[in-house]
């Protein structure tokens, strides 16, 4: 908490409880936002409007410092607000990546001007941010990326391609990692840029996934010019920025970020709820289903409690930031357990029953098609296991013959 004169959590909670009914739309459990029709443009407009309401009411950016437009309050204040807001529609689309990844990274390593301008604008509901990290040549070996930025006087010229960028079509800016010195080893010649998504030369295409969702985009950078103030952190010091960004991403995906406000599925990716499903299909009394539901609930409980413990230990310095990989791993295990169980309950009706409301079997098949997202988003499950074994358990590091070799001397498959 960076506001020593902060009000108590109890008083903050009471104010939130009094404010919410008159200001935020109530959630209708029978028709959650994820099941409502509406174009992507309308959905994003709605998210921005909801964020503007939170800001006007004094409940936006709860854990961001006051000097950058937030409230400077603690995680406990945020948790209290999220609990109170459970029955209301919240701008959850802005949680990941805008607040919990991009703004959190800018807060750690951005310039004073970047923090004041972009964190403040996001909190006021005026700006959406995206991440331009992964490339068509692969996302796990992030430091091996091929997009390059060359200096031309006071500007940088970016050329290359990015992919799997969540919500980039709706974003105003993207954090883009590019190679600025290929004569240095791969981790040491990278720079992070904050790129306006409407910059000339930047083409953003939507990618339609097998489950029908279109949250992902691919970007082509053809001579995109940004000025020196777009550099986040140091020139050639982009790996330090990316490391921080990946930490925030793992924390956010794993449920450990203090910058997430409100809970709920994002509109484009509804999740099947196995408990609602078991009740709706009349299978809740079957012993086998009850056992599996019990196991799922135990995993959910353990995962939540581990989440709080690990987040607190990282914040307090008892665990290194790599411990966020444990949150990320638990998230994938839990999400995939839920998807697998939902499919088992729905059985043969998974693809054909009614939907898409929660508890209906029709959405289960669709939801299952997105099962692998949990073990890839925020870095893959395998990469999380690598980090845990190497950085936390002290096991031998993976062989990396290119680690100290100038990047332009490393043999590239995709160059
Ligand atoms: C929901 C979701 C949201 C995403 N959002 C964004 C975003 O906003 N911006 C963005 O830039 N990217 C985003 N991504 C992309 C994501 O970061 C990548 O999918 C991820 O890093 C893996 O990269 P890849 O898909 O290229 O797989 P690859 O890197 O090609 O890996 C393929 C497989 O090989 C395994 N593998 C690779 N290297 C190793 C290794 N050294 N040891 C063990 N196993 C290995 C991987 O675990 C994986 O199973 C998102 C992905 C998803 C699913």
How sure is the predictor about 357, in pLDDT bands with cuts at 50, 70 and 90? Answer: low
Q: Could you tell me if the CB of 164 is within 6 A of ligand 1?
A: yes
The mean pLDDT value for 177-194 works out to: 97
Q: Can you name the CATH fold of 131-237? A: Butyryl-CoA Dehydrogenase, subunit A; domain 2 (2.40.110)
Helix pair 75-84, 9-23: axis angle to 10 deg: 30
Contact 189, 236 (CB under 8 A): yes
The mean pLDDT value for 205-215 works out to: 90
- Which helix (DSSP H) or strand (DSSP E) does residue 75 occupy? helix 75-84
How sure is the predictor about 211, in pLDDT bands with cuts at 50, 70 and 90? Answer: confident
Compute the distance between CA of residue 134 and CA of residue 130 in angstroms, rounded to an integer: 12
Q: How far does Cα 33 stand from its chain's mean position? A: 19
The chain-wide mean pLDDT, for the chain, equals 91
The mean pLDDT value for 358-363 works out to: 69
Between the two ends of the chain, the Cα-to-Cα distance in Å is 47
Q: Burial code of 114-149, b = ≥16 C-beta within 10 A, e = fewer?
A: bbebbbbbbbbbebbbbbbbbbebebeebbbbbbbb
CATH architecture of the region 9-126? Orthogonal Bundle (1.10)
- CATH for 270-392 is 1.20.140.10
pLDDT at 5: 66
The mean pLDDT value for 27-41 works out to: 71
How sure is the predictor about 325, in pLDDT bands with cuts at 50, 70 and 90? Answer: very high
Q: Could you tell me if the CB of 343 is within 6 A of ligand 1?
A: no
pLDDT at 337: 95
Q: Burial code of 196-227, b = ≥16 C-beta within 10 A, e = fewer?
A: ebebeebebeeeeeebebebbbbbbbeebbbe
pLDDT tens, 43-59? 999 999 999 999 999 99
Residue 373 CA: nearest ligand 1 atom is: 53
**CA 245–ligand 1 middle distance (angstroms):** 15
How sure is the predictor about 359, in pLDDT bands with cuts at 50, 70 and 90? Answer: low
How sure is the predictor about 351, in pLDDT bands with cuts at 50, 70 and 90? Answer: confident
The mean pLDDT value for 293-305 works out to: 94
Helix pair 324-346, 238-253: axis angle to 10 deg: 40
**CA 328–ligand 1 middle distance (angstroms):** 13
Domain boundaries, the chain: 9-126, 131-237, 270-392
Neighbours of 44 (CB within 10 A): 20
Q: Which of the residues are catalytic?
A: 249
Closest by CA to 68, choosing from 120, 111, 2, 112, is 120
């Amino acid at each position: 908490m960076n506001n020593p004169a902060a009000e108590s959590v109890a008083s903050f909670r009471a104010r939130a409880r009094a404010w919410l009914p008159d200001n935020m739309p109530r959630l209708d459990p029978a028709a959650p936002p994820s099941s409502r029709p509406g174009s992507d443009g309308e959905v994003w407009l709605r998210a921005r409007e909801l964020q503007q309401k939170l800001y006007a009411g004094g409940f936006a950016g709860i854990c961001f410092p006051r000097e950058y437009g937030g409230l400077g309050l603690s995680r406990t204040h945020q948790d209290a607000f999220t609990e109170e807001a459970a029955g209301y529609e919240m701008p959850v689309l802005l949680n990941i990546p805008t607040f919990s990844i991009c703004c959190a990274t800018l807060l750690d390593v951005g310039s004073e001007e970047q923090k004041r301008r972009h964190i403040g604008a996001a909190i006021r509901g005026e700006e959406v941010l995206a991440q331009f990290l992964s490339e068509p040549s692969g996302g796990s070996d992030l430091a091996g990326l091929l997009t390059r930025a060359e200096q031309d006087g006071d500007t940088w010229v970016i050329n290359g391609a990015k992919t799997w960028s969540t919500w980039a079509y709706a974003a105003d800016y993207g954090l883009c990692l590019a190679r600025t010195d290929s004569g240095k080893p791969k981790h040491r010649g990278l720079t992070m840029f904050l790129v306006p998504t409407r910059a000339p030369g930047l083409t953003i295409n939507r990618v339609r996934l097998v489950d029908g969702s279109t949250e992902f985009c691919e970007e082509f950078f053809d001579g995109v010019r940004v000025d020196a103030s777009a550099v986040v952190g140091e020139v050639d010091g982009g790996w330090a920025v990316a490391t921080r960004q990946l930490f925030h991403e793992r924390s956010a995906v794993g449920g450990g970020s203090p910058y997430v406000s409100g809970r709920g599925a994002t509109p484009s990716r509804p999740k099947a709820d196995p408990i609602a499903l078991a009740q709706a299909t009349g299978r809740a009394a079957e012993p086998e289903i009850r056992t599996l539901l019990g196991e799922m609930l135990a995993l959910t409980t353990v995962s939540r409690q581990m989440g709080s413990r690990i987040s607190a230990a990282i914040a307090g310095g008892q665990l290194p930031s790599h411990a966020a990989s444990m949150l990320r791993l638990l998230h994938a295990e839990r999400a995939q357990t839920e998807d697998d169980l939902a499919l088992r309950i729905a059985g043969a009706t998974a693809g054909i029953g009614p939907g898409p409301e929660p508890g209906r079997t029709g959405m289960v098949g669709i939801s299952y098609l997105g099962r692998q997202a949990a073990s890839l988003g925020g870095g893959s499950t395998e990469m999380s296991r690598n980090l845990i074994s190497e950085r936390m358990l002290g096991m031998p590091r993976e062989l990396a013959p290119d680690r100290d070799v100038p990047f332009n001397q490393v043999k590239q498959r995709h160059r």
